[in-house]
Structure 1
Amino acid sequence: MPEEKPEAAAPWKALDASVHAALSHACLSISPHSALLAWADWATHLAASPGKRLELARLAFEQAGQLQAYLCECVAGLHEGEESTASPPVDDRRFRDPTWDHWPFNLLHQSFLMQQRWWEEATRDVWGVDPHHEHAVAFAARQWLDMFSPGNLLSTNPVVLKRSLDEGGANLARGLGYLLDDLTRQVARLPPAGAEQFVAGRDVAVTPGKVVLRNRLIELIQYTPATDEVHPEPILVVPAWIMKYYILDLSPHNSLVRYLVEQGYTVFCISWKNPDADDRDLGMDEYLDLGFRAALDAVTAIVPGRKVHATGYCLGGTLLAIAAAAMARDGDDRLASLNLFTAQTDFSEPGELALFIDESEVALLEAQMADTGYLCAEQMGGAFMMLRSYDLLWSRLVGEYLLGERRPPNDLMAWNADATRMPAKMHAQYLRRLFLDDDLSEGRHPADGRPVSLGDIKLPVFCVGTVADHVAPWRSVYKLHYLSPTEITFVLTSGGHNAGIVSEPGRPRRQYQLHTRPAGGGYIAPEEWQATVPVQQGSWWPAWAAWLRQRSGAPAKPPRLGAPTKGYKVLGDAPGEYVKEK
């Protein structure tokens, strides 16, 4: 019998997909259905909770009393001709400048903070509300309140008003110039001001090396040795594909790659291609095969007979964990250790990023990506910015456009603006399999058509979480402890998702905690771990280098760059071509 042809997509499905793609573009990829469901869930349950409403009324009266008492103290100070020494009922770092203590700005900012606290109480502990909806409503309320903070407006910000009087409005003129410049750059799709000072291969990503492998998805960089002898086990770095790799090779003074090379390691690093519409069908399997596995084959060919210290950052670490579990399942013993930096393996509690990931949101993104073939970097960047709206948005707008103070550019800022796209298939797969369904921790995530289990991993693991991580919260990263019985050395370091990893020795105000749980050791809850493990000052990099040395052989002569006889010729200088793609 002739082979049956696959049934064509129903016309109504194509129509719906087009409408949903247009809706996604119009709503900035934020599902209005999810927002409506969340607000309806919260509002209807609050309406059916008289006790909660009475408690909110009591809080409102209490706050009114506090505000009245504070106002009376301030007025009394004014009548006596003295500056008020009244302590504000609510403290917040956004209003710690002394000018906020003057009338009427003290009343404005205290009213705002009390309103913020009231909404925090109103959007939590409402009987019957779905936790995801509760978090979504609280997040939305916080975003709206931040938008109308008195600190964001010229007429209600005393710091801006004083600066304007002192400078005769010159700060506002500078701010207008910065605003016009930013708008022009945005329309022309140019990087932010100052980013041109940090060009990959010239100012950043300058650690010497050679590209020794290139396929349709990656370039593999082998770095030139900086010591006469090297540890025989090479390091293979797998960065996240949602960012350019050189977050780990920034300026010479804060490059993790350069630090490792100077410590006597042979370092290889994957540089992911910046995908376009033609790459829409690249999925997780391709990122595993053309990415990690192709790189590992090259590393073991160039450094034969040696096991590899595999190192993954962010989603690159998640991909590496999947690959390591598949290797353990299949009896592939080419790895010496597994090193995971801010990499989640359990996505049941992924932090505030989960606010942007539910069935409606993912379906909307899938419709949009089916139309474009990829998810543009600005959309992901916008989600990350909303997670820290004050630090990443409002404080910057006030500082630049109202105070007229443009922050000096730095390498991390320039890297953050040099973002990448994500293929439609891969992005949809990792949103569904990892975030929505949590397949990896549940033992359902496939590799080569068969599920993998993190419990199969027997390698020693060095795992790093950061205290202020809004992308991969450290308690979520810590969950690897009950997913795998292997030896785990866990580090909790100060800083955020990026700055906590780019933490070179000598950087001030850095500290970390480190503890090793032996293979098969008992479980310690994260709160107990944080409370009992001693705090150490400085960078965690030397501790990691020492950990690697303990699991490496005696130093030997460095390997050659590439292996031409095995098909790995030197194709050019680092940082290669893929990192320069826009």
Structure 2
Amino acid sequence: MSEPTLSSFSTALQRGPRPLPLFLEMLQTETADAPERRAAALAGLRAYQAAPRPPRPPLPDPIARSGRATLHAYAATGRPVVFVPSLINPPFVLDLAPDNSLLRWLARQGMRPMLVDWGTPEPGDRDQDIDAHVTQLLLPLLDAVPEPPILVGYCLGGTIAVAAATLRPVAGLTLIAAPWHFAGFGDEARARIAALWERAGPTCAALGLVPMEVLQSGFWRMDPARTVTKFERFGELAPDSPRAQAFVALEDWANSGAPLTYAAGRQLLECFFAADLPGSGGWRIDGRTISPDALACPSIDFVAQGDRIVPAASAVGLRAHHPVAAGHVGMVVGSRAPALLWQPLADWISGVPAAR
């Protein structure tokens, strides 16, 4: 059998990592002196593309809408806990599979978890920045909840949740792998992100949107060797094994997602990453400074110690913090997630007094 070539995969794959050309470029660089590794990674990529995919369970019917954003409840009764996901990648990482769902597990513990779905922006939404996601989309959803909920923000959703908790009374706030001090990403990573935006910004401005591939390429360049290695290893798994099925579900999530509005992408990359407005105390919405120091509710920060995407140095630094011995995504959906994050999160929520 002849060795698969890069060009054959660039045209043949209908489902694969996004952006695929960048993956192939990284593959060629990382395996330049190891053709056997290249063949193994390409075989793994082909196996991923051909893997069976059972249908995902649909989101529960929305209980509230605000523009394109919707709020979905995973139980009819119980303590309301609103999960705010990142604007990057879809929200279903919190409900990845029937047997790997933080939200469905919390519902079985007697809580009423709710999930924000940001929806898909159109070019006409280009001027809707992160501030507008808070005031125009998220706050109206929170206002539809009968009592002040506990907010749980994951990744950039945690940054956004701090703003919401500053502007609305909430019973409590939990941050999970949430960036705040963007200087904590380090000079090298921030320089790469600045260069990425310099190249992609004009096209994004013309589109009115920031395609997910633009941001994905930035994440991949943080650790290209790991991106290639995971496909090498996947090719060694039996396609119907639990590990293979878990890989496919997670990789499908990581390689999908709606674009950002142009204004949200610009604010994220220029005002947050470049200028570190949140971490420096310069982020204001409607004249109010957005700061964890202004929070009047119980709050806790779950910080992933092995996070390559949102380094621990970028965390808010709340007095109450819980280190998690996992990575950015593994802390939520990894095999040890129930013990490392789910149960400690449920225990903390159970100890938060009801809002008056």
Q: TM-score range by the shorter chain?
A: 0.7 to 0.9
Q: Identify the match of residue 35 of structure 2 among 153, 163, 166.
A: 153
Deviation at 1:145, TM superposition (A): 11
Asked if structure 2 preserves the Cα contact closer than 8 Å seen for 1:277 and 1:373, the reply is yes
Tell me, in whole angstroms, the C-alpha distance in 1 between the residues paired with 2:289 and 2:350: 33
Cα offset for 1:309? 0.4
2:162 paired residue number: 321
Q: Does the CA contact (< 8 Å) of 2:82 and 2:150 recur in 1?
A: yes
Structure 2 letter corresponding to 1:417: N
Aligned counterparts of 1:549 and 1:269: Cα–Cα separation in 2: 19
The answer as to 2:158 corresponding to 1:357 is no
Question: Which residue is equivalent to 2:73?
Answer: 222
The separation in 2 between residues aligned to 1:255 and 1:242, in whole angstroms, is 19
1:539 partnered with 2:340 = yes
Q: Structure 1 residue aligned with 2:53, among 197, 211, 219?
A: 197
Kindly indicate whether the alpha-carbon contact (under 8 Å) linking 1:238 and 1:313 is maintained by their aligned counterparts in 2. Answer: yes
Mapping for residues 388-427 of structure 1, pairs under 5 Å = 388-396=223-231, 400=235, 408-410=244-246, 411-427=249-265
Give the deviation of 1:388 after TM superposition. Answer: 2.5
Amino acid at match of 2:262: A
Q: CA deviation at 1:147?
A: 2.0
Aligned partner of residue 182 in structure 2, secondary structure: coil
CA distance in 2, matches of 1:294, 1:193: 42
2:99 is paired with a residue whose SS is helix
Instruction: Tell me by how many angstroms 1:435 deviates.
Output: 1.0
Distance 1:399 1:239, change over 3 A: closer
Matches of 2:348 and 2:139, distance apart in 1:
25
- The residue aligned with 2:17 is none
> Are the aligned partners of 2:304 and 2:323 in contact in 1 as well (CA < 8 Å)?
yes
2:283 counterpart residue number: 445
Contact kept, 8 Å, 1:210 with 1:223, in 2: the verdict is: no
Instruction: State the distance in 2 between where 1:224 and 1:545 align.
Output: 15
**Hey, what's the Cα distance between the residues in 2 that align with 1:364 and 1:146?**
21
How large is the Cα RMSD of the aligned pairs?
A: 3.2
Instruction: Write out aligned runs for 1:142-541 (5 A).
Output: 147-148=30-31, 150=33, 152-154=34-36, 192-194=49-51, 197-199=53-55, 203-205=56-58, 209-225=60-76, 230-231=78-79, 234-299=80-145, 303=146, 306-325=147-166, 327=167, 332=168, 334-351=169-186, 353-358=189-194, 360-396=195-231, 400=235, 408-410=244-246, 411-477=249-315, 479-481=316-318, 488-503=319-334, 507=335, 538-541=339-342
AA in 1 matched with 2:162: A
Say if 2:74 and 2:113, in contact at 8 Å, map to a contact too. yes
User: What SS does structure 2 have at the residue aligned with 1:212?
Assistant: strand
The 1-side partners of 2:165 and 2:234 are apart by 46
Aligned mates of 1:499, 1:307 — CA distance in 2: 29
Offset of 1:338 from its aligned partner?
A: 0.8
Distance in 2 between residues matched to 1:393 and 1:383, nearest whole Å: 15
Q: Write the letter of the residue equivalent to 1:193.
A: A
Deviation at 1:397, TM superposition (A): 5.1
Q: State the SS of the aligned residue for 2:308.
A: coil
Q: 2:124, 2:317 → 1: CA distance?
A: 36
Deviation at 1:289, TM superposition (A): 1.7
Bigger relative CO (Cα 8 Å, ≥ 6 apart): 2
Report the CA distance shift for 1:281/1:148 in structure 2 as closer, same or farther (over 3 A). same
State the shift of 1:148 in Å. Answer: 4.7
CA contact (8 A) 2:86 2:156 kept: yes
Per-residue CA shift, 1:274-331, capped at 9, x if unaligned?
22323222212320122220111111xxx2xx33101111101101112223x2xxxx
SS of the residue corresponding to residue 114 of structure 2 reads strand
- 1:117-168 per-position Cα deviation (integer Å, ceiling 9, x unaligned): xxxxxxxxxxxxxxxxxxxxxxxxxx79962564x313xx7xx9xxxxxxxx
The answer to whether the 8 Å contact 1:210/1:224 transfers is no
Q: Secondary structure at the match of 2:320?
A: strand
Residue 315 of structure 1 aligns to which amino acid in structure 2? Answer: L
Contact 1:321–1:345, Cα closer than 8 Å, also in 2: no
8 Å CA contact retained: 2:171, 2:297: yes
Contact 1:317–1:344 under 8 Å retained in 2: yes
The whole-number CA distance in structure 2 between the counterparts of 1:308 and 1:425 is: 28
Q: 1:552 to 1:456 in 2, by over 3 A?
A: closer
Give 1:204 shift: 4.0
What secondary structure sits across from 1:441 in the alignment? helix
- Any conservation in 1 of the 2:66–2:141 contact (CA below 8 Å)? no
CA displacement, residues 168-205 of structure 1 (integer Å, 9 cap, x when unaligned) = xxxx7x988877x69xxxxxxxx9433x6143xxx245
Deviation at 1:425, TM superposition (A): 1.1
Cα distance in 2 between the residues matched to 1:399 and 1:435:
33
User: Would you say the 8 A contact 1:463–1:491 is kept in 2?
Assistant: yes
Indicate if the aligned counterparts of 1:474 and 1:492 stay in contact, CA closer than 8 A.
no
Rounded to whole Å, the distance in 2 between the matches of 1:267 and 1:455 is: 26
Helix, strand or coil at the partner of 2:141: helix
For the Cα contact (< 8 Å) 2:122–2:209, is it kept in 1?
yes
Unmatched 5+ stretches in structure 1: 1-27, 30-142, 161-171, 183-190, 482-487, 512-537, 555-582
Could you tell me which residue of structure 2 aligns to residue 48 of structure 1? none
* Counterpart Cα distance in 2 of 1:292 and 1:361: 29
* Amino acid across the alignment from 1:480: G
Q: CA deviation at 1:214?
A: 2.5
Equivalent position SS for 1:290: helix
The superposition leaves residues 186-237 of structure 1 with CA deviations (integer Å, 9 ceiling, x where unpaired) of xxxxx9433x6143xxx2456xx32122233301112233xxx734xx1111
Instruction: List gaps (5 residues or longer) in structure 2.
Output: 1-20
Cα contact 1:350–1:473 (8 A) shared by 2: yes
Match of 1:542, SS state, is helix
Once residues 191 and 42 of structure 2 are traced to their aligned partners in structure 1, the CA distance between those partners, rounded to angstroms, is 34
Q: State the distance in 1 between where 2:71 and 2:54 align.
A: 22
Counterpart amino acid of residue 296 in structure 2: K
TM-score by length of 2: 0.80
Partner SS state of residue 357, structure 1: helix
**Do the aligned residues in 1 keep the contact of 2:171 with 2:354 (CA within 8 Å)?**
no
8 A contact 2:238–2:244 mirrored in 1: no
One-letter amino acid of the structure 2 residue matched with residue 282 of structure 1: Q
